Amino acid sequence: MNRYSYCFTTEIPDWLKPHKKILSDCFDQIDQPNTDKSYLKLIGDKLIWWDSELGDFEIDSFKPEKKPKILKGKSELLAKALEIKKSGDLVIDATVGLGKDSRFLIELGAKVVGCEKDPLVFLLLQSALQQADKKIQNSFELHFEDCQKFLAHFNPDGPFNIYLDPMFEGELGSAKPKKSMQVFRKLNLKGDLQILIDAALASRAKRVVVKQPLKSREHQYKVIHCYQGKSVRYDLLSR
Ligand SMILES: C[S@@+](CC[C@H](N)C(=O)[O-])C[C@H]1O[C@@H](n2cnc3c(N)ncnc32)[C@H](O)[C@@H]1O
């Protein structure tokens, strides 16, 4: 697991107190900001990752201005792939990352339970969620855990589907990756697709859907249906 640094010059905010153990287990405290070293800092009650090459970075996927457009008239591919038909349908986003897809799923009406295994990404997501509106906060439950472990004990009363996205946006062929992608690449967070798939298929999820670049053929799983978009496709897996 990655190990990080933090440098806080103010009191930690209340929302961060329940996560103090993550700081002590996965981060080293530094007394002074150090321009040669990347570290986590607090601005007000918000967490910011300061990257020594890329500068300040925060997760902003839950901000009002980042609300995704949902197609009207046509059904969204992801809603079809994950069979989101009514408000509150449960989706496990097993690889939350920047939380963009989680936000999209919430805007489609899903209740999302998310899993993020990286401690820095988890804390940045928690910070972003503190700033989010109540609808998002009430529709999203975030866990700091490897989804392989999480799925082995996750046993809700009702049905649920699983969404996997171990890939990075920059891999979809965009000319210059956004800063968020550059930060994520530096953190080297790519998931092992086969492990994720095995864990998801071993659960009692009704559907397991994997996001892939449109043309990717390098996979070892059986597909029931591909929901194809312009640059990505959503593969519905067979057991
Ligand atoms: C490509 S990003 C996901 C992007 C995300 N779909 C979005 O919309 O922002 C992959 C994320 O999955 C996390 N991840 C990879 N393997 C994981 C696992 N086994 N359990 C939980 N999280 C995992 C990585 O730490 C990384 O943050």
Q: What pLDDT does residue 174 have?
A: 54
Q: Using 50, 70 and 90 to split pLDDT, how confident is the model at 74?
A: low
Strand order in the sheet with 27-29: 27-29, 4-6, 39-43, 46-51, 55-57
Q: What is the mean pLDDT of residues 107-112?
A: 96
pLDDT in tens, 137-148: 999 999 999 999
Q: Using 50, 70 and 90 to split pLDDT, how confident is the model at 127?
A: very high
Q: Where are the beta strands (DSSP E) in the chain?
A: 4-6, 27-29, 39-43, 46-51, 55-57, 90-93, 111-116, 140-144, 161-164, 208-213, 223-228, 232-237
The atom number, within ligand 1, closest to the CA of 192 reads 16
Q: What pLDDT does residue 190 have?
A: 78
Q: How far is the CA of 73 from the centre of ligand 1 (A)?
A: 31
Count Cβ neighbours within 10 Å for each residue of 95-126 and write b for 16 or more, e otherwise: bbbbbbbbbbbbbbebbbbbbbbbbbbbbbbb
pTM of the model: 0.95
Please give all residues whose beta carbon lies within 6 A of any atom in ligand 1, as ranges.
94-95, 97-101, 115-118, 121, 146-148, 165-168, 189, 191, 196
- Kindly report the average pLDDT of the chain as a whole number: 92
Q: What pLDDT does residue 231 have?
A: 86
Question: Which domains are seen in the chain, by residue range?
Answer: 4-57 (3.40.1630), 64-237 (3.40.50.150)
Q: What pLDDT does residue 34 have?
A: 81
Choose one of 98, 102, 189 to mutate for the ligand 1 pocket test, by most ligand atoms within 8 angstroms of C-beta.
Answer: 189
pLDDT in tens, 7-19: 999 999 999 999 9
The atom number, within ligand 1, closest to the CA of 169 reads 1
